[in-house]
Amino acid sequence: MKKHFIPLVLIVSIIAFIPSSIFAQKWMKVSAGGRFSAALRSDGTIWECGRAAQGQLGNGADTTQVYNFAQTGTDTDWVDISCGEDHILALKRNGSLWAWGNNGNGELGVGDSISRKYPEQINSDFDWVYISASSYASYAIKKDGSIWGWGLNFDGNLGDSNRVNQAVPVKIDGTYKWRKICAGKPFSMALRADGTLWASGFNGDGDLGNGTLKNSLVLVQVNTDNDWIDISSGWNFTIALKKNGTIWSWGYNGNGQLGQGNISPLSKPKMISSDSDWVRISTGCLYGYGIKRNGTLWAWGSNYIGELGDGTTNQYDFPKMIGSENDWRMVSGAKGYSISSNVLRGLFSLGIRGDSSTLCVTGENDYGQLGIGSFMNIHQYDCDIYAGIPDIKTSINDHIRIFPNPANETVNISIPVNNQIEGRICISDMNGKQVYFNNIMLTNNLMPIDISALPQGVYLLEIFSKDQVFRTKLVKE
């Protein structure tokens, strides 16, 4: 008799005890690193997934990866997060500043170059109000409006008049009040409270936007305009938002990331299109994002692995609307480029939609940084991440049955006779920690899973295919 082959990536996630409120929490902010992700929830908790080789997940691990979002520690007083390539900064409600992950260049600001696997406080100050992590450096603003920097300073990106790496925060400027600072690779861009823009560091591609190609070890003014309200920098380029709702770009443009309809670099700010209804901006390694007043999302630049989320890998040198949704709140493009391996990273993005209960992901997923329970890359935004348990897809449900339920020692996955499933099976706890993993080729009509070692409680069992998902509750007696 002829067998019917069902191509399926099989992932069984058994999540130990799910509080009734887990799907009710709001996502306040997302931040994408090099190959890991972080998200801040409305209950003050931080959740991470992806690569953990440098301790950047803050869970004590440094050799594994987590492909479901897992809570970092148990603290519930976090108010802000910012990811670098392999490290993260986080701000607490009391104004204290914390960091963990890679520290090879002093980017954690704790006085040495030793990486940390758990959150560690940076000095004893409690007056930090703003944070920004770049690939290998960090920046922050204090309550008095002063800006500080530490970490890699090879090109003078810290703006402290030298090229010496700093292992603790050093004051860049305390004369003026600063509103925001961000860093590309390898330069920094700072927004003063008076609406002027300033920059320091590498300028070989017009990165500083001051009309020259000369590097600067101190902050220099971009132009004379004083109506800038937001900035975001990627790899050697910047996108900025003005008070009148227009967006501008300058710097490197090899992938069309300036959104100007070409791939020519710019050493001075130039307006992107003629639209004046932009309200939010973001950059990734070689790409940019903008959200309009009507809630639609637009993207441009590189799209090697679906980082733009439009369902293709087509590159665009002008803004292209992504999907048809009109409820986007924010997007975070990933950090990119590795100094050590000279390869691109950061080809994925995270976003928040709706009433902030929906977390969306797209792009590269080789370390599980998308948090979708697998290592598959995706080219279109997946918005089912902790957005609630969606309906079972009947096309999969017709082929798969889980029994007994409740179960004690063994739960069985049943498929029809003369069918075949090839894929991956994994068991993870609620925090996304992988406790079992195996590739499978199921040619029989029944596959038993030993759950005898699991404690009693309520679990969530999930099976994913390329574009479909099966979810059901499982009770362990």
Single out the residue in 385, 408, 436 at which a domain terminates: 385
Q: Is residue 446 part of a domain?
A: yes
- Specify the pLDDT at position 67: 86
For the chain, what is the radius of gyration of the CA atoms?
23
170 within 8 A of 219, measured Cβ to Cβ: no
Single out the residue in 331, 364, 385 at which a domain terminates: 385
Joined together, the tokens standing for residue 464 give 């994913």
Give the torsion through C-alpha atoms of 113, 119, 122, 124, to 10 deg: -140
Is 372 in the same domain as 408? no
231: β partners? 240
CB half-sphere exposure, 311, CA atoms < 13 A: 5
List all residues 6 or more positions away from 385 whose beta carbon is below 8 Å from its beta carbon: 69, 358, 359, 360, 361, 370, 371, 372
Is 371 in the same domain as 281? yes
- Specify the pLDDT at position 395: 41
Nearest CA among 430, 455, 351, 434 for reference residue 71 = 430
78 within 8 A of 128, measured Cβ to Cβ: no
- Specify the pLDDT at position 7: 45
CB half-sphere exposure, 382, CA atoms < 13 A: 26
Q: Is residue 372 part of a domain?
A: yes
CATH of the domain at 202: 2.130.10.30
What is residue 394's three-state secondary structure?
helix
Sort 456 into a burial class: Cβ within 10 Å, 0-12 / 13-18 / 19+.
Answer: exposed
Is 364 in the same domain as 411? no
178-183 sheet: strands from edge to edge: 178-183, 187-192, 197-201, 216-221
Backbone angles phi, psi at 79, to 5 degrees: -125, -10
- Specify the pLDDT at position 240: 98
Q: Which helix (H) or strand (E) holds 397?
A: helix 394-397
- Specify the pLDDT at position 263: 97
82 within 8 A of 89, measured Cβ to Cβ: yes
- In single-letter form, the type of residue at position 308 comes to L
Q: Which residue ranges in the chain fall short of pLDDT 50?
A: 1-24, 338-341, 387-397, 431, 466-468
Task: Assign residue 259 a region (left: φ > 0; alpha: ψ between -120 and 50; beta: otherwise).
Answer: left
pLDDT tens-digit readout, 118-132: 999 999 999 999 999
Is 225 in the same domain as 361? yes
- In single-letter form, the type of residue at position 6 comes to I
List all residues 6 or more positions away from 130 whose beta carbon is below 8 Å from its beta carbon: 80, 91, 140, 141, 179, 180, 181
- Our measurement of the distance from residue 225's CA atom to the centroid of its chain's CA atoms, rounded to an integer in Å, reads 31
pLDDT tens-digit readout, 204-227: 999 999 999 999 999 999 999 999
How many structural domains compose the chain? 2
Q: Is residue 152 part of a domain?
A: yes
Is 337 in the same domain as 397? no
Single out the residue in 385, 401, 418 at which a domain terminates: 385
- Specify the pLDDT at position 466: 47
- Specify the pLDDT at position 383: 87
Q: Name the E strands within 324-431.
A: 328-333, 348-353, 358-363, 378-385, 401-403, 410-414, 419-428
CATH of the domain at 434: 2.60.40.3080
List all residues 6 or more positions away from 120 whose beta carbon is below 8 Å from its beta carbon: 98, 99, 100, 108, 110
- Specify the pLDDT at position 391: 32
Give the CA diameter of the chain.
82
The whole-angstrom separation of Cα 181 and Cα 137 is 12
Q: Is residue 463 part of a domain?
A: yes
Is 309 in the same domain as 430? no
Range of the domain at 470: 4-9+391-476
Is 371 in the same domain as 427? no
Is 308 in the same domain as 333? yes
CA distances from 32 to 40, 135, 278 (A): 12, 11, 22
The whole-angstrom separation of Cα 61 and Cα 137 is 22
Q: Is residue 423 part of a domain?
A: yes
Is 47 in the same domain as 173? yes
Q: Is residue 15 part of a domain?
A: no
The whole-angstrom separation of Cα 15 and Cα 165 is 43
Is 226 in the same domain as 112? yes
- In single-letter form, the type of residue at position 245 comes to G
What is residue 14's three-state secondary structure?
coil
Q: Is residue 439 part of a domain?
A: yes
- Specify the pLDDT at position 289: 98
- Specify the pLDDT at position 372: 87
Is 352 in the same domain as 395? no
Q: Is residue 22 part of a domain?
A: no
Is 310 in the same domain as 447? no
- Specify the pLDDT at position 171: 98
